[in-house]
A = this chain, B = another copy of it.
């Protein structure tokens, strides 16, 4: 595995690869590092369908709010390198801040509508930061496929929309959430949690499973489902609720009732536990007219 620090190095590598075999498929797994099984599942998926797997590690300041955890976001390149190499990553692209943003950038990629709800409401500017850095990574790496975890389901929806609207020649592969044995969704931020917080965090997945069960049992009033989930979450004293939302996916249209709803529906939660913000979701297939993301 090669670890590359500069855009220019990768561009040379890219030309070399395409010269050898123009049809070689390049897969990109964009990450902020501090890898866990969720990231690794993306690599495994990329390994199946691509000839060259590139993983990027870049903690992108643009997608963090001023009071968020950019500075303390966990970083461990040595460990990440070992994990990535073991799984067969070919190129680890680890640009410094100054390589990605040599000057204050004036250009932003914005997606409207679907970014104004859920995490977009709690984290203004977050998805513009995401869309902008993902556009940059796509322009640098020029992958055929890119892999994103569905824990950040809204991010997947935003990137799909952007790729569609801007005719970006990359196929997006959304990949299932990977969970700990007890159900907690894998996240680099889980490392922030104390033992007690970690225990109470299980309520996220539990409430989602409960919400899903209600829907499967025929409940169609989304307010009722949300109230039920809210009670479960708030029974944990360390949990501060950000939102519980039930929407179409990936269109993220608000749904008061699930009556007659076809395609996919997302049940999503965001909470704060102590200083740590956690999100989780479940996507439910309501039958027919399935919208493949």
The interface of chain A, by Cβ under 8 A from chain B, is: 7, 11, 18-19, 22-23, 105-114, 131-132, 135-136, 139-140, 142, 161-162, 165-169
Set of chain B residues within 8 Å of A19, measured between Cβ atoms: 22-23
Set of chain B residues within 8 Å of A7, measured between Cβ atoms: 167
CB-CB nearest in chain B for A170:
B139
Q: Provide the bound-state CA to CA distance between A169 and B11, in Å.
A: 9
Set of chain B residues within 8 Å of A107, measured between Cβ atoms: 109-112, 131, 161-162, 165-166
Set of chain B residues within 8 Å of A131, measured between Cβ atoms: 107
CB-CB nearest in chain B for A131:
B107
Set of chain B residues within 8 Å of A136, measured between Cβ atoms: 165-167
From DSSP, what is the main secondary structure of chain A's interface residues? mixed
Set of chain B residues within 8 Å of A105, measured between Cβ atoms: 165
- Contact partner, A18, options B22, B112, B113, Cβ 8 Å: B22
> Given A140-B167, A166-B135, A167-B7, A114 and B109 touching (CB < 8 A)?
no
Set of chain B residues within 8 Å of A112, measured between Cβ atoms: 106-108
CB-CB nearest in chain B for A168:
B139
Set of chain B residues within 8 Å of A161, measured between Cβ atoms: 106-107
Q: A7-B167, A107-B110, A107-B161 are in contact. List 17 more A-B contacts (CB 8 A).
A: A11-B169, A18-B18, A18-B22, A19-B23, A22-B22, A106-B111, A106-B112, A106-B161, A107-B112, A107-B131, A108-B112, A109-B109, A109-B166, A136-B167, A139-B166, A140-B167, A142-B169
Q: Provide the bound-state CA to CA distance between A131 and B106, in Å.
A: 12
CB-CB nearest in chain B for A142:
B169
CB-CB nearest in chain B for A20:
B22
Q: Top 3 nearest A-B pairs by Cβ distance? A: A107-B165, A105-B165, A139-B167
CB-CB nearest in chain B for A128:
B110
